[in-house]
Structure 1
Amino acid sequence: MTLSNPLIIIALLFALLGLLLFFLTLRSWKKKKRFGAAFKFVSALLMFALAALFATICLAVQGYHALTKEELAAVVKVEPTGAQKFTARFVMADGSERLFPLAGDQLYVDAHILKWTPLANLFGLHTSYELDRVAGRYADLTDEATKTHTVYSLAKIRPLDMFALRQRFAFLNPLLDAEYGSATFINSNTPEEFKVMISTSGLLLRKSEKGNAQ
């Protein structure tokens, strides 16, 4: 979260306006201008509320990545370790690595996608995504219903999430054009390296050139 973020700049501007109006409120009160003081105080509260709103939205979308075209979200290397068991080593877009032991015949990955309205675009909010979960998936429905399930979170831990925030507060409706989940899966019975690709149309797993070369 940096000062180059338009949402932070807007939140700071509203906060500064709120502080200015608050000091003007105190001055009007000392001059016994009660009506003027009351008006400035209400205006200050409004500015602080708007500052809190934009700061909250900024915090809630942290971890989501701007999405303008098909992008590489992660590289994952699948390695079978036994019957219906495998590991998935993720190298995320930021370079961090995570290893997951999974059960099943297929690698499953899903993501959250947020599509903002043109109004929200003016505040620097554009279509964005965040990888959400990785899991093992069974090809057979009976296995899926009866065998061990393994699932892990890929999302970053943070105090607020835009998906949850959107469900709690209806006033965010005009800002979000669409919110949806996208999922993809692929067989995990042979050692392979895949690229987790994401676009505005959804998520997909594609064999990497390195994996094809092997």
Structure 2
Amino acid sequence: MPNLLVLIMIGCGLLSLIFFIFTFMAIRKKKLISSTIRLLVALLCLALAALFGTITVATKGYLALTHEETAAVVKTEPLGEKLFIAHFKFSDGHEDSYRLAGDELYIDAHILKWNPIVNILGLHTVYELDRVSGRYMDIQEELTAPRTMHLVSQKKPLNMFNLRQKYSFLKPLLDAEYGSAAFIKLEKPANLEIKVSTTGLLIREIKP
């Protein structure tokens, strides 16, 4: 079922079309003031439809966050010294595996928290896992040893996190936007849960 934001976008688009038709009719009747007002209303509705459409596309791939949730389940297996493979099963059901170098598993995410007034449009705190990598405990190794990093976020034409940083007019819509990261040392095969809450990411080992 379409959410409220999509319905508002469609409604604004239809209103824009209707007022463009009214504008054309007023121009044909040579009603300058009336046609100008209707054109301005049509352009306003079109701009609102474009804004809501942009937000809808830019937040696609982000998952609603209302409490602590499991973002992914991870099974790690050592492949050698400071080398391991991490098998991910994400909350949306898809799976992937990443070969990583280092002593620790590191993952980060984008978290967007909307202002309460925007919640009535169906937009709530959302998150998206962004990258996974290996991490060395020793800073010198972190600087000189082989680095491995993989993108886990979905590719999209627009990304709300990037748009917010680029366009200041979106600032009033968001209460906060931030990156969060977590890492855990790996010394043996492990089963892990990557949890996300409104305070950020955390990693828990799944006890047998």
The TM-score with structure 1 as length reference comes to 0.95
Match of 2:26 among 28, 42, 48: 28
Contact kept? 1:71, 1:198, Cα under 8 Å: yes
How far the C-alpha of 1:189 sits from its partner, in A, is: 2.2
Contact kept? 1:196, 1:205, Cα under 8 Å: yes
Quick check: 1:104 aligned with 2:102? Answer: yes
The aligned counterpart of 2:172 is: 174
- CA deviation vs aligned residue, 1:155-191 (integer Å, no higher than 9, x gap): 0000000111001111111100000111100112210
CA distance in 2, matches of 1:100, 1:63: 20
Q: Which amino acid aligns with 1:189?
A: E
Contact kept? 1:103, 1:136, Cα under 8 Å: yes
Q: Which amino acid aligns with 2:179?
A: G
CA distance in 2, matches of 1:134, 1:33: 61
Q: Secondary structure at the match of 2:154?
A: coil
CA distance in 2, matches of 1:128, 1:163: 11
Q: Secondary structure at the match of 1:173?
A: helix
Contact kept? 1:79, 1:188, Cα under 8 Å: no
How far the C-alpha of 1:7 sits from its partner, in A, is: 1.2
Quick check: 1:45 aligned with 2:43? Answer: yes
Match of 2:118 among 114, 117, 120: 120
Contact kept? 1:86, 1:103, Cα under 8 Å: yes
Q: Which amino acid aligns with 2:134?
A: G
Q: Which amino acid aligns with 1:47?
A: C
CA distance in 2, matches of 1:143, 1:130: 29
The alignment yields a C-alpha RMSD, in angstroms, of 0.8
In structure 1, runs of 5+ residues without a counterpart are none
Q: Which amino acid aligns with 1:68?
A: T
CA distance in 1, matches of 2:35, 2:180: 52
Residues 82-161 of structure 1 mapped to structure 2, 5 A cutoff: 82-161=80-159
Contact kept? 1:108, 1:135, Cα under 8 Å: yes
Identity of aligned pairs, percent? 50
In structure 2, runs of 5+ residues without a counterpart are none
CA distance in 1, matches of 2:8, 2:193: 36
Query: Structure 1: which 4+ aligned runs deviate by more than 6 Å?
Result: none
Match of 1:70 among 30, 49, 68: 68
CA distance in 2, matches of 1:206, 1:53: 39
CA distance in 2, matches of 1:172, 1:48: 17
Q: Secondary structure at the match of 2:13?
A: helix
The TM-score with structure 2 as length reference comes to 0.98
Q: Secondary structure at the match of 1:174?
A: helix
